[in-house]
């Protein structure tokens, strides 16, 4: 009896080892029975039938990070650049990730790299360098279009580094400097135009009202004497303004 009890206990323990399983909180388990899809279980305790059920995939449903890049990729204006980026993604359907693609992790990396090369080939080097946010969103949509069939959702894409040839960097810097100088000159011309318009309006006002012109003369002399710490020579025209106004 003791031997039978021991053998039975061992058989039950072995059966429990192959039957009772535990999936972590972040994991989904895809189970096949006779080679066909049976069910998706987890997290927690689940049971399998030995020799009939097979665990095909343990899908980690935490946020995953995959780095990718494009080396010596030609832009639309035929400039070779190196781009380094990262994609954040998550598995939302473990069944599709198991049945629709052989290795979803490597497939996401390959799809991201291909989308990056395609996006760079459609843009000029200036667009790639200065419009990173728009390029990030464009890449996210392009990668999502490919990976959604695999049960993978792309959260966001970030371009970490863009390496442009040094000789081209100098040319772009000179172009940007010239652009800033042109903008500064345009702004200065607009300001001068506004000042000229205001002076013309003031001139017309003083021409119509002599008293206002005399008051303006007095104001200018007063401000000059207030700010000056030395003696001030007042021109005759300004002095006449004081005399005429005093007589009136």
Q: Are 41 and 23 in contact (CB under 8 A)?
A: yes
pLDDT at site 85:
92
Give the max Cα distance, the chain. Answer: 140
CA 46 – CA 79 distance, rounded (Å): 56
pLDDT tens, position by position, 156-206: 999 888 888 777 666 666 666 677 778 788 888 888 888 888 877 777 776
Q: Where are the domains of the chain?
A: 2-59, 64-164, 209-247
How many residues does this entry show for the chain? Answer: 248
The CA distances from residue 53 to 31, 36, 40, 48, 234, in Å, are 6, 9, 12, 6, 108
Share of the chain above pLDDT 70, in %: 79
pLDDT at site 213:
64
pLDDT at site 173:
65
CATH architecture of 64-164: 2-Layer Sandwich (3.30)
pLDDT at site 243:
54
Strand order across the 80-91 sheet = 64-74, 80-91, 152-163
Mean pLDDT of the chain: 81
Is a pLDDT exceeding 60 seen at residue 105? yes
pLDDT tens, position by position, 8-60: 777 777 777 778 888 899 999 999 998 899 999 988 888 888 888 889 999 99
**Token reading at 82:** 């190196």
pLDDT tens, position by position, 112-131: 999 999 998 888 887 887 88
pLDDT at site 172:
64
CA 233 – CA 243 distance, rounded (Å): 16
Considering only 87-96, 101-110, 140-149, 163-172, which range has the smallest mean pLDDT?
Answer: 163-172
CA 24 – CA 40 distance, rounded (Å): 14
231: confidence class by pLDDT, cuts 50, 70, 90:
low
What is this structure's pTM? 0.63
């Amino acid at each position: 009896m003791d031997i039978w009890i021991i053998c039975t206990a061992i058989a039950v323990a072995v059966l429990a080892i192959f039957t009772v399983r535990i999936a972590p909180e972040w994991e989904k388990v895809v189970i096949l029975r006779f080679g066909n899809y049976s069910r998706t279980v987890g997290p927690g305790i689940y049971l399998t039938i030995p020799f009939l059920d097979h665990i095909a995939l343990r899908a980690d449903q935490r946020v995953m990070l995959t780095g990718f890049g494009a080396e010596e990729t030609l832009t639309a204006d035929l400039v070779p650049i190196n781009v380094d980026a990262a994609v954040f993604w998550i598995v939302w359907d473990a069944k599709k990730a198991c049945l629709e693609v052989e290795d979803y992790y490597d497939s996401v990396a390959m799809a991201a790299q291909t989308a990056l090369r395609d996006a760079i080939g459609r843009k000029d080097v200036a667009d790639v360098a200065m419009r990173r946010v728009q390029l990030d969103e464009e890449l996210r949509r392009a990668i999502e279009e490919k990976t959604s069939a695999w049960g993978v959702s792309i959260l966001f894409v970030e371009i970490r580094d863009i390496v442009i040839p040094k000789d081209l960097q100098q040319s772009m810097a000179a172009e940007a400097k010239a652009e800033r100088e042109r903008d500064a000159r345009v702004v200065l011309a607009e300001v001068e135009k506004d000042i000229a318009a205001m002076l013309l309006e003031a001139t017309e006002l003083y021409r119509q009202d002599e008293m206002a012109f005399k008051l303006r003369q007095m104001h200018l002399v007063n401000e000059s004497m207030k700010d000056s710490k030395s003696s001030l020579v007042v021109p005759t025209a300004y002095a006449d303004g004081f005399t005429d106004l005093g007589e009136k």
